[in-house]
Chains A and B, each alone.
Chain A
Amino acid sequence: MSKKYKIVHISQTPLVAAPAKVALAQRMSGHETVAIVLKDYPINGPLAGKFIEDFLVEDGFTKGIIDEAIAKADIIHIHNDLPQEWVTRLLYSNQTAKYVYQVHSPLREGPLYLPRDSSLGLPFSLKLVVGQFQPRIHQDHVFVPNIIHETPSVRPRRKGEKLKVIFSPTHLRPGRWNNKHVEQLDTALQSLVKLGKIEAIIPDKPVSPKTLMAVRRSCHVSIDEIATGGFHQVSIEGLAAGNVTINKADYFSKTVFSTFSDGEMPPFVYADGESIASTLENLANDWEKTAEQQLVSYNYFKKHLTPIKMSSIFDKAYETL
């Protein structure tokens, strides 16, 4: 049994709850872990309040808990970036903890633009990176997974059932990896809906992750994004929900991810702007193929991507500290 630690995760913003999910998985593995976020997403924005649940946000009530957690931590695990006053506070509060840096975002575009690990001024012993498309940019960082805390389920498509597709476009930003929009996808979805081939579930306003996941479980296909060549948490959620998961993930994104699953490539279905319409139509026309692919997704998640298994990858990384 690996050693158990007192771990504090800190991030400036929720990062779509990724640090909190790691912390939760680590608690399930027996570690004493908290996740602190400095502030939620902007109050009038689409993401406010939706990813903050499992975090501690500092206020009068929580300050004592946070101070104590920091002071007693064996590992302080920083995500993406931190303001200078927090760096000073950490160094002042705990001189024995090991520092781990984890990056979630690409470079040359917002929010980071530049690597931050060396400019933060903390003595990082380990550098991690989310194991999707990001490693190609942060090449010397160790891959770690995004963790999904959903019980895997599958509702295979039945004969005569219309193909149900869920697509939840996230907040659009400019950049090579942030720009996830593809016009042809909108056109393909609209056209196939008008033809009566598919039912498209596209939330017209921001929805909580739990609600989205519940809806996802009722669908057959999840579309992540087909613009960048990477993939996101949505793809992993799609596997957990037993959906055919469509993205444009390239060989290297999938190869990195396969290091979490004993070398088995994730069963994503590739599509780009030119092929998305035909990919969806082929699925729409073949209920058996859809059901078969759904089961592949479900089995893959069940076998490889459970939170405890994913937490062990962090454990292995911490062993080098």
Chain B
Amino acid sequence: MISNIKGIYIFLDPFDRADSGVSSYTSLAAARMQRLGISTKTIKLNKNETIVDFRNRVATDINNIRETILCIEAPESLASTANLPDSLPLHIRLHCSRSLGAAIQGLPYSEHDVAIEQTELCRAKYLSAPSWAAYFTSLCLFKFPHTPLFYPNPSPEFQYQNIKKPKYDLLFVGRLQFLKGLHYLEHLIEHLPNLSFAVACPPNSNWKFSNKKNVTVVDGTSLSKHEIYNLANIVIVPSIFETSSMVAIEALAHDCQVITWKHLGVSEYINDSRLIKVNSNILDDFLHSIKTCNPQKKPTTGIVTEVINKNFDRGISQVLSPVNLKAVLLNRPDETTELYLRNLIREQTFFMKTKKKSSFSAKTRKLILNPVAFFRDSKEAKYVRRKIHERKQRKYLKLQTELFPQGAPNDIEIRYVTKIEQSEPETLNSNAPALALYAEIQKEGRITFATLPSMPAGCSTAFFYSIGEESQLVSSILDALDSFDDFKYLNKTKLNIGTFDITADETTLSIINRIDVKNKTTFSEIDTVVLVNAPVNLCQALRAIGTNHRIVLIKSTEELVIDNQSIDALISTTDSQSMDALATTRRHIKLESEEHIPTAVRRIIQEGFPKKPDMLLSLFMNSDCGFTKEEFNQLNTNSYQGIIKTKPYSPTNSKTMTDIYKGFSESVIAIALIESVYMRYRSLCEAVENGASPENLINSCLTDGILFDVQEV
């Protein structure tokens, strides 16, 4: 009986977020274990605490615990246990690490992170997973010393829905991300125009489908779980991958019907008509399941939740019990699904890389794995469907001509929903907000920034304009950025748009003091900040609150005063800059016409993308001293971002860095920079290549934290 076991069970939560599956699991698991009579303690990430600080704090806190420690459980992600000694009973549970999530989406990930997570997996005394799916997919990145224990994540207590006819037909809960199956959701919305979708997601989510007639976006963080799961009878979970799916578990616990892919972890938990498992990635099957599902006909029951929780209890008992018996607590997926999961990362990487290449290999794979889908999606079938559609169109046009000889009405009402109307006031909270800007920087008051969904490195861009700004310029820029189909990072759905209304007489320090540490940290997630005709004080303030982001200023008015040191790139359509000022501008694009502004913005952002590999470029300087291949190969670009070759230089009589820059620059023979740095300081590099002293370039680079390997020759 595990209730007789003396000691404390510790959970580590390195996320502590309302929308984190790990945080939800930790909270439910701790509550469940307390009901079993086991003492628990949870160590959570503090606000503004880095993961490194968290690991150190975990080690300190655990060291101060006097009771017997039964177990220290942590997700594999972020290696929270890294600073704990081997002597402690570590339990790593697979929740899908960030690296794995990135790999599944075909995105780059840090091998260093994988390595430290791997170390913890090898050190752990206990390994567990909420599903076979978690294990099979993790095998793509990790090696396991032994097969984990499989038992489900716990469920909240069952509650009946209290609305007989919910307002919406379908409910999606989660972040609007590729990993959560956003593209599948969009496909379903388009193909089910007669069904209403409620989408409960974090606030300030920019999404082009939010204005669709059959879509209502609600702020998932402002409603209780009960309110969320009373929005619809059917909850769809179309994620690319889930180790478990807290959303599905919660939905089942709130008496909803759930439709999901069969390769998601939760599909292993039960075989029950309440949980419909669709063949992996076959959207037509998903559509079919939605159309044929009628949750009103199914008996409501809490047995599903009870089974899940009982299996969780048994799983935990297996962890803590010294008896080495392993009961089967999950349904192992069939062979096709297992193969799919083992190849998931490869599939996704393949999909992302080769979607433009020849489709032959993709089609062959489809024929073997999904022959029904192959024939259904074949060109011949598509041709037939198109012909049927065209015939219908002709009939419609004929009818239109008969009914509206003057022409069909052409104004289409677009419905913008900004709040949920309450049909039963005692149950639903009707204060779902309209979609908000990323930030509104006003004349006074705190300045806050919205939390962003994760984006690939270099892609996160904020765009600020003045409330009083000529709207035509701003809207034409935004429309043009939105039209880049091959560069969607600047589309309106991806841009973080904000406004400012700042007086010129407010000091820069005053603006900075209106941004607290938490919001400074949030802002640091942005890679590029584009400002349209922003005053000096705002440019200075936004640049000063972090070291990672770049400030790009669009200057279209003659009278705008700028401080070149407070911007990383200047896009100007006016000539009011002095030569001296331009000489110190890191990157400058001068345009003849405002219509080229969007292209210039795109160019600067593309230039700033991480380069793989990030290779050295030598500047064209008048010297005989070039660089050899060995010198380039030997440079450790993790430590240095460039090489400077110089004649022997002595800083005698130098009192300030300005003195050193002057003297040192005169000794410089050759400079090479990694490409990303070259691009960032392109205007200054080009000036050097046109004969200017490298003083401004070296000054700007060093000020911004660039390190050079200086070699005296």
Contacts and interface: CB of A to CB of B under 8 A. Distances in A.
Interface in A8-58: none
Q: Is the interface of A mostly helix, strand, loop or mixed?
A: loop
Given A174-B521, A181-B52, A136 B703 contact: yes
Question: Which residue of A113, A137, A255 has the most chain B CB atoms within 10 A of its CB atom?
Answer: A113
Given A119-B507, A139-B703, A263-B651, A114 B544 contact: yes
Nearest to A320: B655
A139 B695 CA distance: 12
Given A140-B656, A250-B708, A272 B638 contact: yes
Contacts of A140: 656-658
B547 A252 contact: no
Interface string B347-374: 0000000000000000000000000000
B512 A108 contact: no
A308 B657 CA distance: 24
A109 B638 contact: no
A174 to B, nearest CB: 6
B546 A114 contact: no
* Range class of the A interface residue count: 35 or more
Contact of B50 (A172, A248, A251): A172
Given A108-B547, A114-B544, A259-B654, A139 B699 contact: yes
Interface in A116-171: 116, 119, 135-143
A139 B705 contact: no
A113 B656 contact: no
Nearest to A181: B52
Contacts of A263: 650-652
Interface in B45-61: 50, 52-53, 56
A255 B660 contact: yes
B660 A109 contact: no
Contacts of A251: 708-710
Interface in B429-468: none
Contacts, number: 97
A280 B75 CA distance: 33
Interface in B72-129: 112, 116
B705 A113 contact: no
Contacts of B636: 272, 274-275
B661 interface: yes
Interface in A191-221: none
A138 B703 CA distance: 8
Interface string B630-672: 0000001011000000000111101111101100100000000
A273 interface: yes
B161 interface: no
A258 B651 contact: yes
B547 A256 contact: no
Contact of B547 (A138, A176, A273): A176
A183 interface: yes
B698 to A, nearest CB: 9
B574 interface: no
B540 interface: yes
A114 B512 CA distance: 9
Nearest to A262: B652
Nearest to B512: A113
B381 to A, nearest CB: 54
A75 to B, nearest CB: 18
B651 A142 contact: no
A6 to B, nearest CB: 25
A229 interface: yes
A47 B517 CA distance: 21
B23 interface: no
Contacts of A175: 547
A272 B658 CA distance: 28
Contact of A250 (B512, B658, B707): B707
A4 B53 CA distance: 46
Contacts of B517: 110
Contacts of B702: 136, 252
A136 B651 contact: no
B656 A143 contact: yes
B651 A255 contact: yes
A256 B656 CA distance: 9
Contact of A113 (B52, B544, B658): B544
Contacts of A256: 651, 657, 660
A55 B575 CA distance: 54
Nearest to A226: B639
A143 B517 CA distance: 30
A274 B710 CA distance: 19
Contacts of A82: none
Contacts of A110: 517
A287 interface: no
A177 B639 contact: no
Contacts of A108: 543-547
Contacts of A142: 655-656
A184 to B, nearest CB: 9
A107 interface: yes
Interface string B392-434: 0000000000000000000000000000000000000000000
Contact of A114 (B508, B521, B547, B708): B508
Contacts of A107: 544
Contacts of A229: 639, 705, 707
A248 B546 CA distance: 22
Nearest to B524: A174
B327 interface: no
Interface of A: 107-110, 113-114, 116, 119, 135-143, 172, 174-177, 181, 183, 229, 248, 250-252, 255-256, 258-259, 263, 272-275
26 contacts: A108-B543, A108-B544, A114-B509, A114-B512, A114-B544, A136-B657, A138-B657, A139-B656, A141-B656, A142-B656, A175-B547, A176-B547, A177-B705, A183-B112, A229-B707, A248-B639, A250-B707, A251-B709, A252-B702, A255-B649, A256-B660, A258-B651, A259-B654, A272-B639, A273-B639, A274-B636
6 closest residue pairs by CB, A with B: A251-B710, A176-B547, A135-B657, A139-B657, A136-B702, A272-B639
